[in-house]
Amino acid sequence: MAGSKVGSIGEYIRDQRQRAKISLRQLADAAGVSNPYLSQIERGLRKPSAEILQQIAKGLRISAEALYVQAGILEDRKADTDVQAAIRADLSLSERQKQVLLDIYESFRKENEGGVPAPADANDERKEAVE
Amino acid sequence: MAGSKVGSIGEYIRDQRQRAKISLRQLADAAGVSNPYLSQIERGLRKPSAEILQQIAKGLRISAEALYVQAGILEDRKADTDVQAAIRADLSLSERQKQVLLDIYESFRKENEGGVPAPADANDERKEAVE
DNA sequence: GCAGAGTGCTTGCTATAGCAAGCACTCCAG
DNA sequence: CTGGAGTGCTTGCTATAGCAAGCACTCTGC
């Protein structure tokens, strides 16, 4: 999907449907939503709920997440790193603690965008962080 | 969160709110939703849209995804990897950064020995770590 | 005691999501 | 030509999401 990340969900659905070479009614039937409503969604007249998006994704045989991203209700995340996935799934952490760790992890990665720093620099980093 | 992955979103929100030790109105204000509506959501009388869940997540300072998972609109992605192993193996972090993250992770887990704690504690931890 | 602050909930309303019934059109076979 | 199948859209309706106004309660200070 070239262009903006959060575009018109309706246009995106129509595009995917046309790529799949199925009619509006065929998709509506496969998705279990009414065909007039799907038409309205595609033309931007209605704003579908996440549940409807889930059904449409099923009918299109694509991930619901892809539609959520287009609809602006989910961040477009490239595959989680192992660290991120592990933190999210860790049952010994509260939701808030997970968010804190993820934020710190992310800020560390930003610092390292020019490369992983030498151990001497990392020393200073630790002192700041621990204090 | 032991037990079913997709439970009552209302109970979950109330639980997170009570862990954060904030009143219903405080969360409603922080989230930008009406307090009666939040009350209805917590009691399972209404079914909030993804947009409202997003706002509530912001007010609770947790990820929207966590609420989506509870609401059944997003799959809970499993991670087979352990947090500690993942941090150690992450090539985008320096060794010192890894240690910092591991220390924080460890201290979070220590705090949680009697159970998953109130997020207010995690708040303090974050301030220390970033400074 | 009363007033004020804070709490969670009730109630009635508006806007709109999502549907069913059906229209208008195109295409093709008999 | 007509009828049938398929297409996308219009229209009017119902159910409900989400809100504002306000109630009933608890607690505290004067």
pLDDT tens for B68-98 read 999 999 887 654 458 888 888 888 888 778 8
Does residue A119 have a pLDDT over 60? no
Per-residue confidence (pLDDT) for residue A33, from 0 to 100: 96
Does residue A3 have a pLDDT over 50? no
| Residue of B51 and A114 predicted with greater confidence | B51
Per-residue confidence (pLDDT) for residue B94, from 0 to 100: 80
**Domain range annotation of chain B:** 9-71, 79-115
Amino acid at residue number B98 = K
pLDDT tens digits, residue range A39-58? Answer: 999 999 999 999 999 999 99
Chain B: residue nearest A110 by CA?
B92
Say yes or no for a CB contact (<8 Å) between A122 and B74: no
CATH class of B9-71: mainly alpha
Q: What percent of chain A has pLDDT over 70?
A: 77
Q: Which residues of B11-27 are buried (b: 16+ CB within 10 A; e: fewer)?
A: ebbbbbbebbebebeeb
What is the DSSP code string of B58-100?
Answer: HHHTS-HHHHHHHHTSS------S-HHHHHHH-TTS-HHHHHH
Say yes or no for a CB contact (<8 Å) between B94 and A117: yes
Say yes or no for a CB contact (<8 Å) between B81 and A80: no
This complex has an ipTM of 0.75
B40 touches strand D (CB under 7 A): yes
Q: CA A2: distance to chain centroid?
A: 16
Among B63, B81, B96, the strongest candidate for a mutation testing the A interface, having the largest count of A CBs within 10 A, is B96
Average pLDDT over residues A7-31: 92
Smallest CA–C1' separation from B28: which nucleotide? C8
A48 touches strand D (CB under 7 A): no
